[in-house]
Amino acid sequence: MTRIVLLGTSHVAALWQGWGRIGGDWPDVEVRAFAAHGQYGTSARLRGRTYGFFGKGAAKIPVFGHDAPEIDLTEFDHVVRVGRSFAEAGAVPLLRGFAIDGLTPRQEDRPALMSAAAGAAMLHALVAGALPPEEWRDWTAPKVSILQAPYPDSRFATATLGPRYADRQWLARRPEEMLALRRAYLSRFAAELARARITFIPQPAETIGEDGLSLMRYSTGSTRMADGDTHQTGDLLHMNADYGVLAMTRLIETLTGRTARAPAAT
């Protein structure tokens, strides 16, 4: 039996729903979840090989998929952290004023050119800032993976959102530039994770449109992790069970090295 635990925020909901559809195809794989929505999900911490919420008030934090505020990760073969997307948007403050030689084009409102070497240094800094803390690196048992959180759907570039999303929307309105930057960023990010013995699992390519955003058919009808109700029509950040099927299939195939119902190694 291969035991896997999903750690993360509200994006775990779609994965859990997807697993509910395909779990029967993987009789020798067990998947569990430990997730919390919003700021709670990003405040969980690691102590040794125990993950969760510690200290006063921890027991009151609503946890999805587990009946305690902490979980022992040594019970699993694979620990999967559902990571953030759009980390490349951290380059936007520089991109507003500079084109990067060989990566992004000069424009009338951005005539200055950053050298390729400076652009590579910027990407290196972005990747370094996105890597998990030292305590997550170089695990051999259980093994650690990062499953990329989905990109917002195709409405994102023109939606009326708050300042929190301003840099990501600026980049999304320049899809060719965004995709070039993303390719360069993700290749470096995956390589650095591999050096830390962490597997990177990107969003399934078939769920992403030509604009670099998630296709709407994978966000329509998404449901909230807390109560299972459908998200409001304007929600463009969360994905549905159809997305969860594809993401979980890719995850399980990557971690086990085989396809559904293929015999496990003896």
pLDDT tens digit sequence for 201-252: 999 999 999 999 999 999 999 988 877 778 777 789 999 999 999 999 999 9
> Tell me, what's the pLDDT at 264?
53
Q: Is the pTM higher than 0.85?
A: yes
> Tell me, what's the pLDDT at 185?
93
Could you give phi then psi for residue 117, rounded to 5 degrees? -65, -40
pLDDT tens digit sequence for 125-162: 999 999 999 999 999 999 999 999 999 999 999 999 98
> Tell me, what's the pLDDT at 261?
64
Confidence of residue 266 (pLDDT cuts 50, 70, 90): very low
Mean pLDDT computed over every residue of the chain: 91
Whether 262 shows a pLDDT value over 60: the answer reads no
> Tell me, what's the pLDDT at 153?
96
Q: What is the DSSP secondary-structure string of the chain?
A: -EEEEEEESTTHHHHHHHHHHHGGG-TTEEEEEEE--HHHHHH-EEETTEEE--STTGGGS--BS-SSSEEEGGG-SEEEEEE-S-GGGGGHHHHTTEEETTTS--BTTB-EEE-HHHHHHHHHHHHHHHSPPGGGSS--SSEEEEEEPPPPBTTGGGS---GGGHHHHHHHTSHHHHHHHHHHHHHHHHHHHHHTTEEEEPPPGGGB-TTSSB-GGGTTT-B-TTT-PBPPTT--S---HHHHHHHHHHHHHHHHSS-TTPPPP-
pLDDT tens digit sequence for 86-128: 788 888 988 888 889 988 888 777 778 889 999 999 999 999 9
> Tell me, what's the pLDDT at 56?
87
pLDDT tens digit sequence for 19-76: 999 999 999 999 999 999 877 777 899 999 999 999 888 988 999 999 999 999 999 9
pLDDT tens digit sequence for 178-187: 999 999 999 9
